[in-house]
Amino acid sequence: MPRANSPLPWRLILLLLPPPLAMRAAAAVDTTTVGFTEVPLTEAQFPVQRPYDVPLHEGFAFRGGVRRMWVYCTDKPHTPTSRTKPRTEIGIKQNYSSGVWQFEGYGYVPSGTTGVSVMQVFGAAPPHATTLMLHVYGGALRYYDRQLVEDRIYDRWFKLNVVHDVDAAELAVFVDGKRRLRVAGRGGCVHTFKFGVYTQTRPSHRMESRWRDVKVFTKKN
């Protein structure tokens, strides 16, 4: 028998609750990272890409555990030779090429921000550069500029989990613990998770997203 001060497994707790409470508690249990191991990350693994002629403090702030990133559609790319659109974005320095990997973070998109990617799985087989991108258009989170993932994300914190099974070539996106998308991978040898703001089609003049408690998990197949 467990000692008196040992925490009870959550399944046993649900059995001990009255049915209405048990149903609500079960809905609140988030199992997206069950079976995964968190990967230790240092602050050096969160480098910021930003317009090459803009000082860091004019597009990025890190206070109270919240990373705030913004960019303007008229800004320059992140290098003088790049042909990509403006971004203020973090590419986590934790590359992977096999197994199952998971991004977790709490995101916040202020109203008015549109035409922007706020999270991506970078790396894919040509002609693609990314395996997955999550865009924001008019308050809706979408798979690229297509399939709806989650509506009404403006001005609220939402929990985002993206699971990438490299060997099975499959990805799943969870918002607030509920699976909202399941898509095929796009190949590629090396991948990494990125988040922030990266200009896409029909952008607002100013784009911003905020992130906290960003983590990376992995597990073996």
Q: 37, 219 in Cβ contact below 8 A?
A: yes
pTM: 0.87
For position 16, what pLDDT does the model report?
Answer: 57
For position 4, what pLDDT does the model report?
Answer: 41
Q: Quick one: which H or E segment has residue 61?
A: strand 60-63
Residue 192's φ and ψ, nearest 5 degrees, are: -155, 160
The full set of domains in the chain, from first to last, is 1-30 (no CATH), 33-219 (2.60.120.200)
Q: Digits of tens for pLDDT over the chain (221 positions)?
A: 333 444 445 455 445 555 555 445 444 678 999 999 999 999 999 999 999 999 999 999 999 999 999 999 999 999 999 999 999 999 999 999 999 999 999 999 999 999 999 999 999 999 999 999 999 999 999 999 999 999 999 999 999 999 999 999 999 999 999 999 999 999 999 999 999 999 999 999 999 999 999 999 999 76
Q: Helix, strand or coil for residue 181?
A: strand
For position 213, what pLDDT does the model report?
Answer: 98
C-beta atoms surrounding 218 within 10 Å: 15
